[in-house]
Amino acid sequence: MTSGDGPVLAVVGPTAAGKSDLGVALAETLGGEIVNADSMQLYRGMDVGTAKLTPAERRGVPHHLLDIWPVTETASVAAYQSLARAVIADVLGRGRVPVLVGGSGLYVRAVLDDLRFPGTDPALRGRLERLNARHAEQSRKLGILRDQHATAIARLEARVRQIYLEDTPDTLSFVLEASSFADLLDHVEFLNDIGRQDDRIAMQVAHATAAMAAARAETARIRARVADTTRVVGARVAEQRAARDRLVASRDALSSARSDKRETLGEIRADRADFVAEVGALERESAALAAKIRSSQGAGVASTGSGVSASGFLWPVHGAVTSGYGWRWGRMHEGIDISVPSGSSVVAAASGTVIYAGWLGGYGNLVVVDHGNGLSTAYAHNSGLAVGVGASVGQGQTIAYSGSTGSSTGPHVHFEVRVNGSAVDPLGYL
């Protein structure tokens, strides 16, 4: 992987796969430093069960983001992302290679991919936590009041049952049963105590009922506020999730575009390599071809041509021009390439005399026709030849069959026009 400033090597995989040892070996070989991406190894003291390397096992290779948090701190991918990217930038800035090692997938992706974590609202979260605490406390109080109310109701029911089962005492009975005036006063006071107790029981039931009703109302009110706040939090979470989904979609689109560009670049590089190889081979044979043409023309080989025909040169085949005449990637392409299926008829662009027919290095099977006045045409990469040296050919006559012989990347006709042996742009004659 690469960051904006340089390469980042990532070693990922399942638990106990040997990532840590491999990371150290790579860092030693490449001059790198380890950046931890294991969520458990971020915590101080968690050495057992996390496969954290000992200082000796690190073999002097710098390790970053180990033992940075206490176990009481909640892990945050967003916080780790910021720390890890800062460490990687520092390592790259010192000319070293960051080696990201760990099995926590989200942590690795947070560093390497374009993941963005929306911030939280501490005030809203604090408000919801306070409301939840109040709701829990209010629910506890309501439970206590329910118990008190149940106790008061039980007392009231017991008193009512007692009154129903026993005779209700009256003042006359107390007076008649009293043996003295003092005894009478005691009886009256006892009767008053019974009345006051009944009043207290009734009052306790009323108070408990009222308190429980108020507590229920307060609990319902807090529950409603909790629900409202929870809906707000849910709406914000949904917004953040939608924003995250949009970011992920954008990231995926960007990744796809990057992949397409890499693929296109690879194809261009391959095409360039093929083109350079083909043109290089033709360049090596071009001088030899020019010499052969000049030698044939100077030797007075018979020519029935009269230069360019009255109707101009014909296209040797009908197809798309895949490579034009001129400089490309530092090489001179001395003709045009016309894409056609293998075995297509290749015709003479104009009438003339065949001065070369046979194999010529990178040109493969080659036919050269002299049209007089120092003008000649060449047809390369043929699969087969239909004429021989010295043959007189007419314009449009089949002289060869297309193919991919010599230095060629596929079936096509390489067509050249030469004046006194030197290549010129064929499109000026077609």
DSSP code, position 55: T
Q: Give the model's pLDDT for residue 301.
A: 47
Question: CB–CB of 186/91 below 8 Å?
Answer: no
Q: Give the model's pLDDT for residue 261.
A: 79
Q: How far is 394 from 283, CA to CA, in rounded Å?
A: 29
Q: Give the model's pLDDT for residue 180.
A: 64
CA distances from 363 to 353, 366, 389, 403, 416 (A): 19, 6, 17, 11, 11
Q: What is the mean pLDDT of each run of 10 residues along the chain (430 residues)?
A: 67 83 90 90 81 89 90 81 91 92 83 70 70 75 73 69 62 60 61 67 72 76 78 75 74 75 73 64 74 74 43 88 82 89 96 94 92 92 95 96 90 94 91
Q: Give the model's pLDDT for residue 209.
A: 75
> Which residues, in sequence order, are bridge partners of residue 7?
2
pTM: 0.40
Q: Give the model's pLDDT for residue 49.
A: 72
Q: Give the model's pLDDT for residue 218.
A: 78
